[in-house]
A and B are shown apart, each in its own frame.
Chain A
Amino acid sequence: QKEVEQDPGPLSVPEGAIVSLNCTYSNSAFQYFMWYRQYSRKGPELLMYTYSSGNKEDGRFTAQVDKSSKYISLFIRDSQPSDSATYLCAIGYGQNFVFGPGTRLSVLP
């Protein structure tokens, strides 16, 4: 079983839709949870970062962590064409980071 699993997509949604992106992980030692956005031919950039179970909101983005189920989610409200990118989850403890393979999202105008 891979340490972090993520549906690679691609996922296509109409502009204005609510998008749900998910990752599951297997190691209960993981302590911090991140979501990165990567535009084509660019480096990943951090979107959300959290230590704890529960929700964290930042504008149109909400990160949700359920440590008991080893499941994390990123919700995007009122999605825009500019949200079209690959979204990577990253989970870590200490010096150890593991990235999911990324989900490619297209938001259609």
Chain B
Amino acid sequence: NAGVTQTPKFQVLKTGQSMTLQCAQDMNHNSMYWYRQDPGMGLRLIYYSASEGTTDKGEVPNGYNVSRLNKREFSLRLESAAPSQTSVYFCASSSSGGGGTQYFGPGTRLLVL
């Protein structure tokens, strides 16, 4: 039982390049989330998916797109990376969106030059 896994662990991009961050969970959870974590800012929600087939914007969605590929997988795409997107990205999942405990992956550290 791996919980929540994320790939890659670390990535360096040049401004304007694109990439997809992958997330998968094996806990049969309905809800999945993408956060970014910056120093002094805490975790900020980018997008979430309350259930397979649905996605909604969070606090900071600009510059990102998501796909809920199936119940297990939720990907985050940067179409044209900017230095302001340098951050640590965490994926999380929970059994239900309303009050469900969130389980986090190990994170992806992204540096945009």
Contact = CB atoms under 8 A, between A and B. Distances in A.
Contact of B99 (A4, A8, A46, A51): A51
Interface in A82-98: 88, 90, 92, 94-95, 97
Contacts of B44: 99
Contacts of B40: 8, 101
Contacts, number: 50
Contact of A44 (B41, B43, B45, B99): B43
B66 interface: no
B54 to A, nearest CB: 11
A45 interface: yes
A43 B106 contact: yes
A32 B100 CA distance: 9
Nearest to A45: B104
A43 B45 contact: no
Contacts of B90: 43-44
A95 B97 contact: yes
Given A8-B40, A43-B90, A101-B40, A95 B98 contact: yes
| Residue with the highest number of chain B CB atoms closer than 10 Å, among A43, A49, A99 | A43
Interface residues of A, number: 25
B64 interface: no
A49 B41 CA distance: 22
Nearest to A92: B99
Contacts of B102: 46, 90, 97
Contacts of B4: 43
B96 to A, nearest CB: 10
A65 interface: no
B17 interface: no
A72 to B, nearest CB: 15
Interface in A40-54: 41-46, 49, 51
Given A31-B99, A34-B101, A49-B101, A42 B106 contact: yes
